[in-house]
Amino acid sequence: MTKTEMTRYQRIKKRIFDIIQIGNRGDIPSRAFDIFIVTVIIVNIITLFLDSFDEMAEYHGFFRICEGITVLVFAVEYGLRIWTSEFLYPKKTKAGAVLRFLRSFDGVVDLLTILPFFFLDGFIVFRMLRVVRIFHLFRVNARYDSFHIITSVLVEKKNQILSSVFIIIVLMFASSLGIYNVEHEAQPEVFRNAFSGIWWSVSTLLTVGYGDIYPITVVGRLMAICIAFLGVGVVAVPTGIISAGFVEQYTKKQNSDKKLTDISKLGEVLVDRESPFLGKMVSEAETEMGTRIYMIIRGDLSIMPYDNVMLKYGDIIVIRADNIEKET
């Protein structure tokens, strides 16, 4: 292969990589490919659901054909992603990029999406792999705002979430041991050991309360009441952490839209005791002064100008220079 042919080959390969990359909204062929893959995934999952109905047994052959076509599309896409993996991991060698993709979340999900078609009538472990196809939808959503915000919140708040999960586990084992000691004599067949109380403690702590296992003694019922109240607070802790994380992420995203369109016109203003900015929220100051605040310098800190940040004495704010004389 000549150098010219090699260059042309690489250009074609790079163009295919750009098209099959998910979330490239500015590229019409890439956007069309995303829509096509989403459609194929949905058809595959719907076929999987419909095939489970006994009433649809006469259409089993049609479902099998649809499934075969969609799996063929998945296989072609999987092959293209392996072929172009060097552009996804440019710092690695070609073989290293392929191995890195095969071990990645996308690579594993892609492979598990294809394998069940060939092992549907085999061991139960292969039939269970059919469920993994649903996770293929995560790949489509992975580079869009909704999934990105969720993953960002979980990563950013992981320590707090892990702490709350640890508290839940401790309470779960403590309540399991407690209910066993209280109810074992009254219900030896139901609460045979401490581990048998875990199902009851989980359903009670998480405020589900299925009612298949329940205490019958007075002490046991009092304990159940206390644990149920604790469960309300326990569930609220991680929920509050994640909710606060969502608010922070959306606030950051909204403020990230503030672009420095003309950096030559930026200037600094000191917030002193006579400044009209003193004591005002960023959103309030921007509205009243008719300007845009790009940065707040507070001592050694550089603070992003979120709408709910209050401007304090001694702050230095970076705003448009053509408004400085009027505002100061």
Domain extents in the chain = 3-142, 158-256, 263-327
CATH architecture of structural domain 3-142: Up-down Bundle (1.20)
Q: Is the pLDDT of residue 120 over 80?
A: no
Which sign does the torsion angle of CA 230, 233, 238, 241 carry? Answer: negative
Q: Which helix (H) or strand (E) holds 32?
A: helix 28-50
18 falls in which pLDDT band (50, 70, 90)?
confident
pTM of the entire structure? Answer: 0.52
Q: Is the pLDDT of residue 128 over 60?
A: no
Distance separating alpha carbons of residues 270 and 155, to the nearest angstrom: 36
Q: Is the pLDDT of residue 100 over 80?
A: yes
Q: Is the pLDDT of residue 328 over 50?
A: no
pLDDT for the residue 239: 82
Q: Is the pLDDT of residue 252 over 50?
A: yes
Q: Could you tell me where the DSSP H helices lie in 84-205?
A: 85-88, 94-103, 105-118, 124-128, 136-141, 145-156, 158-183, 197-205
Asked whether the domain spanning 158-256 has the same topology as the one spanning 3-142, the reply is no
Calculate the average pLDDT of the chain.
Answer: 78
Burial of 163 (0-12, 13-18, 19+ CB in 10 A): middle
pLDDT for the residue 194: 79
Distance separating alpha carbons of residues 138 and 147, to the nearest angstrom: 8
Distance separating alpha carbons of residues 24 and 101, to the nearest angstrom: 19
Q: Is the pLDDT of residue 282 over 80?
A: yes
Which CATH class, in words, describes the domain spanning 158-256? mainly alpha
Which residue, 254, 322, 315, is CA-closest to 279? 315
Distance separating alpha carbons of residues 253 and 125, to the nearest angstrom: 42
Parallel, antiparallel or unpaired: strands 266-270 and 316-320: antiparallel
pLDDT for the residue 140: 56
Mean pLDDT (whole number) for 310-327: 72
pLDDT for the residue 79: 92
The DSSP annotation for 236-272 comes to HHHHHHHHHHHHHHHHHHHHHT---S-GGGEEEEE--
CATH architecture of structural domain 263-327: 2-Layer Sandwich (3.30)
Residues above pLDDT 90, as percent of the chain: 4
Mean pLDDT (whole number) for 287-314: 83
Mean pLDDT (whole number) for 317-327: 62
pLDDT for the residue 247: 79
Distance separating alpha carbons of residues 169 and 176, to the nearest angstrom: 10
Q: Is the pLDDT of residue 4 over 80?
A: no
Q: What are the angstrom distances between the C-alpha of 295 and each of 67, 166, 300, 303, 308?
A: 54, 39, 13, 6, 14
Question: Which residues make Cβ contacts (< 8 Å) with residue 195, sequence separation at least 6?
Answer: 176
Parallel, antiparallel or unpaired: strands 293-298 and 301-303: antiparallel
Mean pLDDT (whole number) for 115-142: 59
